[in-house]
A and B are shown apart, each in its own frame.
Chain A
Amino acid sequence: MDRHKPATVVDARAARQEARQPEGAPSPAGDDVVQQAIGSQLRAVYDEVVRLPVPDRFLSLLSSLDSHPTAPAPGKEQES
């Protein structure tokens, strides 16, 4: 009965993410529940990292690129 629990969570998670299971993907471990759980845990772990706030330095980098299209990044070797 416990085995049904992960599947439910996986469904909810997958629906929220985007159900992007390549069709006909083989399941070498031979256990769909385990493979689905692997997919959802992988996304959970990776999403933590994706959601990290982007440091301000990148915003300033981008605006400096904007004003000087071919200038090197600040903090890198300067030319000009």
Chain B
Amino acid sequence: MTDPDRFKDALLAELQSLRAFAISITGNVERADDLVQDTVVKAWTNMNGYTEGTNIRAWLFTILRNTFYSDFRKRSREVEDDGAHASRLAVHAPQHGHMDLEDFRRALAQLPDDQREALILVGASGFSYEEAAEICGCALGTIKSRINRARARLGEMLSVTSGADFGPDADSYAALAGADAGGAKAD
């Protein structure tokens, strides 16, 4: 039996990461917010399906991902064309953003969905390979190979576009901090 108050606190604590993951798979803040809302409601309704003491973030990500693939994908395909793909993770690109990060965003958007997802789960969201495999409902080896292929592809793309200058410098982080302090004004 899950304690509702503790569960609600945990939901609250995970909202930001849920939203970031939703943005990364929908490529659109509005759709991401609808997805997060559905996820929160489903999680609340199925609260007792969560085993206390296990990783609640992984549990929530799994619900969010399943909701996306069962409900949202069909719906959004009717509205969107493939143009939205390129905007994935670019929704908050500061206009004065560092070119290296811009290159990176573009390269990331070019990865196949499954590779980008695996890379984000393990490389940015802090999940283990095992957790990522559970979230995606696939074998451990599949996650590993997706990540390896994603890294190799990014390495190729970025080495070509950025050459010796590859890598962010201190200024790019200052620019990022400035952009964040200014609030979200992504279009």
Residues of A within 8 A of B (CB): 2-3, 5-7, 9-10, 13, 18, 20, 22, 26-29, 31, 33-35, 37-55, 57-59, 61-62, 65-66, 69-70, 72-73, 75-76
The answer to whether A73 and B37 have CB atoms under 8 Å apart is: yes
Q: Give the number of A-B contacts (CB < 8 Å).
A: 150
The answer to whether A45 and B108 have CB atoms under 8 Å apart is: yes
Give Cα A28 to B155, complex, Å.
9
How many of B's residues come within 8 Å of A, CB to CB? 60
Q: Interface on chain A toward B: helix, strand, loop, or mixed SS?
A: helix
The answer to whether A41 and B156 have CB atoms under 8 Å apart is: no
Residues of B within 8 A of A (CB): 4-5, 8, 11-12, 15-17, 19-20, 23-24, 33, 36-38, 40-41, 44-45, 89, 91-92, 100-101, 104-105, 108, 119-120, 122-126, 128-129, 148-149, 151-152, 154-156, 158-159, 164-170, 172-173, 176, 179-180, 183-184
Q: List 6 A-B contacts (CB under 8 A).
A: A6-B167, A20-B126, A27-B151, A41-B100, A42-B124, A66-B5
Give Cα A51 to B40, complex, Å.
19
Partner of B4, one of A28, A48, A69: A69
Give Cα A29 to B38, complex, Å.
39
The answer to whether A38 and B169 have CB atoms under 8 Å apart is: no
The answer to whether B89 and A46 have CB atoms under 8 Å apart is: yes
Please indicate the chain A residues that have their CB under 8 angstroms from the CB of B173 in the complex. 9, 13, 44
The answer to whether B33 and A34 have CB atoms under 8 Å apart is: no
